[in-house]
Amino acid sequence: MVGTALAPLLLPPILLFLTVDYDRGSTAERGKVVAAPHDGYDEFSGTIAKGIASRLSWGHVEATGFRSYPLRHWFDVNRPTERPWRNGGFLDARVTSDGERVHGEYLRKLRLAARVSSTAKIPFLVEIHGHDRHVSTSHGSQVQIDAIELATRGFTLTELRRLKRRYETLVQDVPSRYRVTLAVDRLDRTYVLENWRVPFYFYANGAKRTGSLQDDHVDHALHFELPASVRENYTARTYYTRLLAKLVDEVSGY
């Protein structure tokens, strides 16, 4: 079953065509859902999320178009914040009534896709995001962070070490030119990339404090931040969709 809903009608007219779609999947086991809350901004995150969900027959949620520089709106979707446009730029993220309504719709669709009640925790949530992170070196040059960063909720350190080892095995099936490092929030405060030690960045703290990764909403969660090299190249995207489907399927059985 597939459902589509427009963003809440009280939003400004330009937002009325933004959507949060969901698919319940066909798995006999309830509670597993893959989501892309920033589709259209994190390029191809929706394609990857849908591909993973399709391979596993899990529920699927995709929020489209909620971040746009040209249209001057920015909703975080997986948390109740937005960045208002003022004087030619976006302000810092803040909780707003519109942000809360968008986030509430996202949570509602997550639960529908997971086939749990409107007040129940989601047993297992996977969110697919994208990044284009660069860091400055001591020599003044810029290094592109061509790595996957994974924020987590609900796993023991032993389970996370097992997850990382499994990734390192699965990635051997990816052609070497497309392979990227995986860094995990509670294991890797820093990691080595191109002979530089890089600080872990994407902890998803906002989503953990006030959004979809709160304890009130999920038991277990994996929040993947995928670099452009994984998302924007068709061949790499195909390999990593297959890899991530295998990985999250195995991890969901821990």
pTM exceeds 0.85, yes or no: yes
Please state, rounded to an integer, the average pLDDT across all residues of the chain. 90
Structure-block tokens of residue 117 = 């009640």
Q: What is the pLDDT of residues 88-105, one digit of tens each?
A: 889 999 999 999 999 999
How many domains are there within the chain? 1
The stretch 181-195 carries a mean pLDDT of: 94
Q: Residue 159 maps to which CATH number?
A: 3.40.630
The stretch 190-204 carries a mean pLDDT of: 92
Range of the structural domain that residue 169 is part of: 2-251
Q: What is the pLDDT of residue 142?
A: 83
Amino acid sitting at position 232: E
DSSP letters of 187-212? T-SEEEETTEEEE-----HHHHHHST
Q: What is the pLDDT of residues 3-56, one digit of tens each?
A: 444 333 344 434 444 678 888 887 767 899 999 999 989 999 999 999 999 999
Which range has the worst mean pLDDT, 91-95, 160-164, 237-241? 91-95
Dist CA 136 CA 205 (whole Å): 23
Percentage with pLDDT > 90 across the chain:
74
CB distance 18 to 6 below 8 Å: yes
